[in-house]
Every structure is written in structure tokens, then in C-alpha cells.
Structure 1
Amino acid sequence: MSDSSSTQGTGELRRLNHELSVLNGIARELNRSVNLDQALRFTLSQVAELLGLRTGWIWLIQDSSPEPYLAAAQNLPPVLADEPRRMDGSGYCYCLDSYKKGDLEGAANVNVLTCSRLEGLVDGTDGLRYHASIPLYSGEKKLGVMNVASPGWRGLGPDDLQLLNTVGDLLSIAVERARLFERSARLGAVEERNRLAREIHDTLAQNLTATGLQIESAEALLEADAAPDEVRAALARALSLTRSNLDEARRSVLDLRAAPLEGRSLAEALKTLVDRWEAETGIATRFKAVNGSRPVPPRVEAALYRVGGEALANVARHANARRATVRLVATPGSVSLLVEDDGIGLDPSRVPEDRHGIVGMRERVEILGGVLRVEGRPAGGTRVEAAVPLEGLQSG
């Protein structure tokens, strides 16, 4: 064997060893983690390491919605990162349309496609034009698509295609595993709420019975013409028990309270809220969701839903508006809600925050690490925007 052949053989072995090492690392991490967002980000970073590809993103499809959503992204070019509407799963996308039709399946169809989202754009693309699309399946069930891209695209050989297909298989298993874990966690939460509800019912029933006995005692003392101090003492005990019951009920409701939109996505719940509010107020309202199918943690859903309701209530009470806009934008890193009107305008610096529920809205958002912005111009309408980061938050 010549020196050149030996060197070539050694190089090939090193490449294979590196690929196996990265694949093993991906498999180990995906098997360990039940946090879907972390698993997706890790996989993108490792694929970049494996094939020297800088940019990637992952579309996923929920069981409850046929519309794909952007679940993870790495180093998107500015034109896509700065304009989330261009990465909305409901927009036209050649690779997603091909996937839905079943034209992307197996290693033979992991190939380079022209990115329809970058077609016709020049500025802010970082030179990207093409990407490889890796279909994600669980059996015959469609889970989504992973796209990886690089400005100076090189041809993909059969080994590269098979490698990407293997990564797609590993990721598909991780997606299903994470979703099963989330479903079990949600089921456990429901069972725990039911258990708490039974305990609350029993506790309140006992306390109400005790209160009733004190009231009956006071009535008996009154009929017997007992001393006023004795009657007053019985009524005081009844009042004390009543207050204790109220405190217990408030604590229980806070502990038991579920997300106000359980069973629906945040986008679906907000659309219902907007439609109902528009019918009640007569104010023409436009609702738009970008990547509205993307699941977010229940506590984020609850916070943004309530912020939306409070902001709309303020429009109805104070704005004298003719039109309003509600827009939900979800990206892999954050979710934001905008409520805007064309009314008389609100100057936040001159209006006590508690008067318009701004303190409550801000607390809901800030406790999640987010930011609430309230902007108003006299005779120019008001804009309320809540933005919450998703990285680091569990999806369950």
C-alpha cells in the first residue's frame, strides 16, 4: 500500500470515528433529556459540528394542529431572524409542502433544495440560498422537518445523506419521547388537581358545618333571652370561622387554578377571546398569530392570555377606539403578545398603573422573566406589548 493510500485510509477512518462519536453524543443526550427545546437546540449544534453547517432550523407538527411551527433555530440570517412572519409555518414553503405530500421520506430524499423563504431576497440573507431537508417521522406519523444550510453549499454524497437520515431518526425518537413525558406530566397535574379539589370540598364542608352550628347556637341564645355577651360571642365565633373559610377558599383556588385555556392552544384561546370581545364591544378587531401552533409552557399561556384580556378591557373602558389589533408571535426563543388600538391614547407616565391594571400585567410578565411595554400617544392610540423568553422554561 502506498503512503498516499495509507494516509487516505487513515483520514477516512478518522472521519468515520468522528461521525460515530458525534452520533453517539447526540443519541446519549437525546436519550437523557426530556426537555424538547434543549434536545432540538443540541441536535442543531451537533449537526453543524458534524457537517460544518452554520445554520439550521426545525419545523414540528403537533397532533392537535396540521400547521407546522418553528420549534428551534440556529444562526438564522437576519432577514429571517428579524422578521418572524417569514418563518411562519402557515406561509408557503416548498420543503414543507413536499413533506406534507409525502415526497420527503427516507435517506434517498434528504437532499438540497432551494429555500423558497429566501427566494428573491438579497439583503440580510448571509448568502444563503439552499438547504438540506431531513424529514422526521415516527412510523408513518409526520413529526416535522429539520433544515440545515450553509452559504457555500457543497454537494451531499450518499454517506452524508445517510448520516443526516440517522440524525433525523434519533431526533424523531426524542420528539416522541419528550411529548409522551409532557402528556404524562399534564395528566399527573390533572389528577393532582382532582385530589386537591376533593380535599378542598371536604375541608370547606366541615368548616361550613361548624359555622352553621355557631349560628344555630346564637339563635338559640336569642330565643332564650340570654345575655347579649353570650350571643355576641357565638356570633363572633361564627364570623371568625367564616373569615377562615374565605381565606382557605382563596388559597385553595390559587393552588388549584389551571390555565384558563386548557385544552386549546394560546392562539386558539386568544382568537376566541378576541371574537367574543369584538361582538360585545362593536370595536373592529384584527387577530394575527405567527407560528401560533408552537406550544408554550402553561404558565406563559395563562399569563399572556390574562394580559390580553386586561389590555382589551382597558381598550373598551378608556380608549374610545374604533379599531384594535391583537398579534401573537412565537419564535424558538420567545413569545410576544401585542394589543394595539387607535383610541385617544394613554400616557403611562401620567396614569396611575394600578388604575389600568398595568401593575398586575407587569407582575405576570416579569415573574416569567419577561418585559411589559406600554406606549401611548395623545390622540394616537395605545400599544401594550408583553414579551416572554422561552429558553430555560419547561414546556410542561
Structure 2
Amino acid sequence: MNDPTHVTILKEIAELLNEETEIESMLQGSLEKFLEGTHFHTGWIFFIEESGRHTLIAHENLPEVLMHKDCFYMKNGGCWCVNRFRQGRLKKASNIIECKRITEALHKSSENPEGITHHATVPLQSGNERFGLLNVATPGRRSFEEHELALLESVAFQIGSAIKRMQLTKKEQEVALMQERNRLARDLHDSVNQLLFSMTLTARGGAEMTDDQEVKETFHSLQSLAQEALTEMRALIWQLRPKGMEGGLTEALNGFAEMLGLKASIKIEGVLNLPAKVEETIFRIGQEAITNCKRHAEAKDIYIWIEAKGDKVEMTIRDFGRGFFPEHTDKVPSVGLSSMQERTRLLNGEFSLKSAPSEGTQIKVILPY
């Protein structure tokens, strides 16, 4: 490791890791710098979840055969290095006798002009936490020397430490955001919410104190508007700081629907053991759908099905209200729909919408976890 070129590579990658704030761009940039400064030609990085599901998160100079059909052979199936990682048996940089993914791709296409058949692999980890694999290869090379594997291990250690740092930073940001939401919810409850409540009481009292029918109707109208604004404000406070989540999704969504004067029928199938981020996304999308039902569908009932299927959770939300033409976005609650679509996209999920006038609306969301 006294090779000055190795020191330069580690220094350049360290500088990149210190500058980057997003994991995907950090991994892609680190991979590119590593390949530029070494004799390795090709590289790819897998993120591997606790469930064993792997995701191709970065790659550079992949052979054309492996780029086929949006990297089909890289994203699907198993291989030696991923299986060893799942079993906890891959501890350091290792030479791979032959890459199963490349072999299968070659079998299908019978072409490999780049000449890559073997690769080296190293786990990305920080302490006892493991995140995935860094794989590198060179045309015509069937194995790599010890000093090359040592450099690969050093880079993997740098990347693993950076991933851990970014995850901790993200958690700190989420805690700070939650604290700010709680503060805003308290402020709205203590100020605007109380003022609106006082306004409804004042308007009701004014209506009871006068015999003038026109004035009485004005007070009733004011009371109705204040009550509607109070309901909206309570919904906003709930969205900032949801109550009932400690009792699970059913209790939280039921409570939100009841607050808006709707009856929610909720059915859950399968064992829901969802990561906090996925559970919050399901809840937030459910909130948006319930709010849209109240504001636009003119329906009193809403039906929600949540089902855990393998490594995915599906939520279907249905009402039998007014409905609309989905293509007429200027006539639908586009802000709410956009929010649901964006929340789904951020978790690499699938979002679908069905609706027609007088036939109600159905929203379906599928999220991986």
C-alpha cells in the first residue's frame, strides 16, 4: 500500500466522499474515480437489504451484454458473491472464479467483445453494519493480485464509512423535521385553532341573541364557515403531528377519517412489519386520499385495503363518490394526487389511479420494503 498512485486514489475518493451528500451520486462518483486511477476497467455496486433483496445502485463501463434490457442480468437472479454476502461469509476482498451473471448473459447472447468473465468483490461495511458489494473487473483478467485487492478493501472501507455517515445525517434531519412539525402543530393548536373555536362560539351566541332573521342567518353562516375552517385546521395539525400511529395504521387512518366526518372501512391482510419510512408513507397517502374524498368526492364512506405480499405492501383506496376524468387534471385535486405520486416515487413504488364520473375513484399504491 506504499504505491503513491494508491495514496492519490484514496485521497481523491476521500475528498469526493466529504463533498457528496447523496448516497447514489457518491457511489457513482467513487466508482468512476476508482476505475480512472487503477487498471480495473468495469465496476458495479449492489445495495443488499436485510431481506436479501439486492439493488444495482451504480455501475460504470459495463459490457454491452450486461446492459441488455436495462441491466436485466445484473438486477435479477442470484450469484456467488451476493449469496455469500447474505450468508455473512464474505468478509474481505476476494477473487471470483467466474461470474454467474456474465456467464448467463453470454449464454443468451454468445457475444462478449469486452472479454470480461471474472471479477473481484468486496463488501461495503462500517463496523458490524453491512450495506452491499463493490465489484470490479478487467477484460482478460481471471484473478487479481494481493496489492490490488488491498486497495479495493481500502476504498470499500472509505465508502462504507461514508454510507454510515450519510445515514446518520439523514436520521438527524428526520428527527429535526419531526421536531419542527411538532412545534408548528403546537403553535397552530394554541393560536389559530383556539381563535377559530372562539369564533364558532361567538357566532352561535350572536345568532341566539338577536331576533332579526337576516342577522341571525349571517351569524349562522359565519358559524358554519368558522366550523369548516376549524375542521381544516385540525386536519392540518393532524398531518403535521399524527395521533394514533402508536396504535397502528388502522387506528390512525380511522381516527383521521372520523375527524373529517367520514366512515372508513379498513381491512389489513398479511403481517405488517413495515419500516418506519414505509409505514409513514402509507399513512400520508391514506391521509391525502381521505382528504380528497371529503373535499371532492361527496362520499360518506371510504374503503381501504392494505396487504403485505412478500417484500411489498399494497394499499388500495376506494370511494363511490362523484369521480372524475383522470385526464382532466385541471378539474381534479391535482396537488393531492401529485403529493401521493411523489411519495410513492421516492420509495421506488408504483402508483395507479382509476376514476370516472359518478363511478367513484380507486387509488392503488405498491411499495417495496
- Structure-2 residue corresponding to 1:184: 172
Distance (whole Å) between structure 1 residues aligned to residue 105 and residue 223 of structure 2? 74
- Structure-1 residue corresponding to 2:102: 118
Instruction: Sort the Cα spacing of 1:364 and 1:236 in 2 relative to 1 into closer, same or farther, 3 A.
Output: closer
Task: Identify the match of residue 138 of structure 1 among 111, 116, 126.
Answer: 126
For 1:205-224, what aligned pairs fall within 5 Å after superposition? 205-221=194-210
SS of 2:37's equivalent in the other structure is: helix
- Structure-1 residue corresponding to 2:25: 38
Distance (whole Å) between structure 1 residues aligned to residue 5 and residue 66 of structure 2? 32
354-363 or 25-34: bigger deviation: 354-363
How far off its partner does 1:137 sit?
A: 2.4
Gaps of 5+ in 2: 250-265, 270-274, 293-308, 317-324, 354-362
Q: For the Cα contact (< 8 Å) 1:129–1:151, is it kept in 2?
A: yes
Give the letter for the 1:245 counterpart. Answer: L
RMSD of Structure 2 on Structure 1 (CA): 4.9
Task: Identify the match of residue 138 of structure 2 among 135, 150, 162.
Answer: 150
- Structure-2 residue corresponding to 1:7: none
Distance (whole Å) between structure 2 residues aligned to residue 385 and residue 228 of structure 1? 49
How far off its partner does 1:158 sit?
A: 2.0
Instruction: Sort the Cα spacing of 1:47 and 1:189 in 2 relative to 1 into closer, same or farther, 3 A.
Output: same
Write the deviation string for residues 147-191 of structure 1: whole angstroms up to 9, x where unpaired.
Answer: 012333264222211111110110110111111111112222222
Gaps of 5+ in 1: 1-11, 265-275, 280-292, 311-325, 330-336, 340-350, 375-383, 387-396
Instruction: Sort the Cα spacing of 1:25 and 1:201 in 2 relative to 1 into closer, same or farther, 3 A.
Output: same
Instruction: Sort the Cα spacing of 1:189 and 1:61 in 2 relative to 1 into closer, same or farther, 3 A.
Output: farther
TM-score (norm 1): 0.58
Q: For the Cα contact (< 8 Å) 2:46–2:54, is it kept in 1?
A: yes
Give the letter for the 2:29 counterpart. Answer: F
Distance (whole Å) between structure 2 residues aligned to residue 98 and residue 34 of structure 1? 30
Give the letter for the 2:124 counterpart. Answer: L
Distance (whole Å) between structure 1 residues aligned to residue 219 and residue 332 of structure 2? 40
For 1:184-263, what aligned pairs fall within 5 Å after superposition? 184-202=172-190, 203-221=192-210, 226-246=211-231, 248-249=233-234
Give the letter for the 2:219 counterpart. Answer: A
Write the deviation string for residues 264-289 of structure 1: whole angstroms up to 9, x where unpaired.
Answer: 9xxxxxxxxxxx9998xxxxxxxxxx
How far off its partner does 1:54 sit?
A: 3.3
Write the deviation string for residues 235-280 of structure 1: whole angstroms up to 9, x where unpaired.
Answer: 343234234435545665676689x9xx99xxxxxxxxxxx9998x
Distance (whole Å) between structure 2 residues aligned to residue 328 and residue 67 of structure 1? 8
Correspondence 1:353 to 2:327? yes
Distance (whole Å) between structure 1 residues aligned to residue 288 and residue 41 of structure 2? 39
232-241 or 243-252: bigger deviation: 243-252
Q: For the Cα contact (< 8 Å) 1:34–1:177, is it kept in 2?
A: no
Correspondence 1:74 to 2:60? yes
Q: For the Cα contact (< 8 Å) 1:112–1:131, is it kept in 2?
A: yes
For 1:77-96, what aligned pairs fall within 5 Å after superposition? 77-81=63-67, 82-83=69-70, 85-88=72-75, 91-96=77-82
Distance (whole Å) between structure 1 residues aligned to residue 165 and residue 74 of structure 2? 26
SS of 2:56's equivalent in the other structure is: strand
For 1:303-322, what aligned pairs fall within 5 Å after superposition? none
For 1:161-180, what aligned pairs fall within 5 Å after superposition? 161-180=149-168
Distance (whole Å) between structure 1 residues aligned to residue 71 and residue 267 of structure 2? 27
- Structure-1 residue corresponding to 2:90: 104
Identity %: 24
Correspondence 1:22 to 2:9? yes
How far off its partner does 1:97 sit?
A: 1.7
Give the letter for the 2:21 counterpart. Answer: V
SS of 2:105's equivalent in the other structure is: coil
Q: For the Cα contact (< 8 Å) 2:32–2:60, is it kept in 1?
A: yes
